[in-house]
């Protein structure tokens, strides 16, 4: 995926508003449990005059569900880039690609989107905001239990004052990567707010020596997922010497001895980790700021919308 309009045009469009754009978030899935907040958020986008809710992500492709694309009478073309991706059942994950104007954050862009095949694991999902849309903004996410918000700014124009931590990001292959250390092994993983938990692909499983996990039934394009909770003395997730988190849930995707079986699997920091912080990301200058640590999560009977 590539930027489809000049960055300068975006700056000019956004500069018309002197104030931050604060977008109330809705919970797409997930709940707040004791010590674990798995809420995945969605944001409003406008397509052909109608509002739809797309999951907020910051990397990978921007996607739209096949049924929605067809309801909108969008043209679907063949896509060589996704033709080899299959799910755990061997079915294609995508049916092609489409291009259309999409409005988000006060900016309308002509966006090329992958069209995801309707499946049980994406039931009810309208689409996902990917790198090409998200990377044009500096964005700040406050996962407040009652009123979560996403604040958008022009990338590179302002920086948080006295953050708890300032970390570097690597911008590569249409994703934002951050270094994480577990068990004295440092690996680069994706920022992945579209995931419920930390996700460990086969490469991370091997690097962190995560051999086993408790299996449970979670619908996924990669089949049954296993989970492991990092609770031992050396099982903290470290972003820096100032940021070390324990009790983190890791979802194991694929088999470390047979990584070829899940070529699309990637390791990433998901929401049960990211929602521990109020944080800000600027892709243009490659920074991840932790503004504050959220209070320990308390169980709720239902997600806050």
| Contact assessment for residue 269 and residue 191, using Cβ atoms and an 8 Å cutoff | yes
Q: Which residue has the higher pLDDT, 231 or 197?
A: 197
Using pLDDT thresholds of 50, 70 and 90, give the confidence band for residue 184. Answer: confident
Give the residue ranges of DSSP H helices in the chain: 7-14, 66-71, 131-134, 202-207, 271-274
CA dihedral over 2, 138, 110, 50, signed as positive or negative: positive
Q: What was the pLDDT predicted at 11?
A: 36
What's the pLDDT tens digit per position in 106-151?
A: 999 999 999 999 998 888 899 999 999 999 999 999 999 999 999 9
Pairing of strands 185-191, 175-182: antiparallel
What's the pLDDT tens digit per position in 227-269?
A: 888 877 778 899 998 899 998 988 888 888 888 877 778 899 9
Q: Around Cβ 28, how many Cβ atoms within 10 Å?
A: 21
Q: What was the pLDDT predicted at 223?
A: 57
Q: Which residue has the higher pLDDT, 93 or 184?
A: 93
């Amino acid at each position: 995926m590539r930027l489809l309009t000049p960055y300068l045009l975006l700056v000019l469009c956004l500069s018309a508003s002197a104030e931050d754009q604060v977008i109330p978030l809705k919970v797409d899935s997930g709940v707040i449990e004791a010590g674990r907040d798995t809420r995945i958020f969605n944001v409003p986008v406008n397509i052909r005059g109608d509002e739809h809710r797309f999951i907020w992500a910051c990397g990978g492709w921007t996607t739209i569900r096949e049924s929605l694309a067809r309801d909108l009478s969008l043209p679907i073309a063949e896509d060589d880039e996704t033709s080899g991706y299959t799910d755990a059942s061997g079915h294609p994950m995508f049916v092609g690609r489409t291009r259309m104007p999409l409005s988000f954050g006060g900016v309308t862009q002509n966006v090329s989107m992958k069209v995801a095949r309707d499946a049980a694991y994406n039931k009810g999902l309208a689409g996902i905001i990917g790198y090409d849309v998200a990377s044009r903004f500096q964005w700040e996410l406050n996962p407040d239990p009652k009123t979560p918000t996403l604040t958008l700014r022009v990338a590179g124009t302002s920086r948080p004052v006295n953050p708890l931590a300032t970390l570097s990001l690597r911008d590569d292959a249409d994703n934002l990567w951050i270094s994480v250390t577990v068990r004295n092994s440092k690996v680069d993983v994706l920022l992945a707010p579209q995931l419920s938990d930390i996700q460990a692909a086969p490469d991370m499983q091997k690097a962190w020596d995560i051999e086993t996990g408790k299996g449970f039934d979670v619908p996924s394009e990669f089949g049954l997922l296993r989970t492991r909770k990092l609770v031992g003395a050396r099982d903290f997730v470290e972003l820096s010497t100032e940021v070390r988190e324990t009790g983190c849930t890791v979802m194991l995707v694929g088999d470390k001895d047979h990584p070829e079986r899940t070529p699309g699997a990637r390791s990433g920091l998901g929401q049960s980790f990211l929602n521990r912080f109020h944080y800000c990301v600027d892709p243009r200058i490659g920074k991840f700021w932790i503004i504050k640590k959220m209070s320990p999560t308390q169980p709720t009977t239902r997600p806050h919308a």
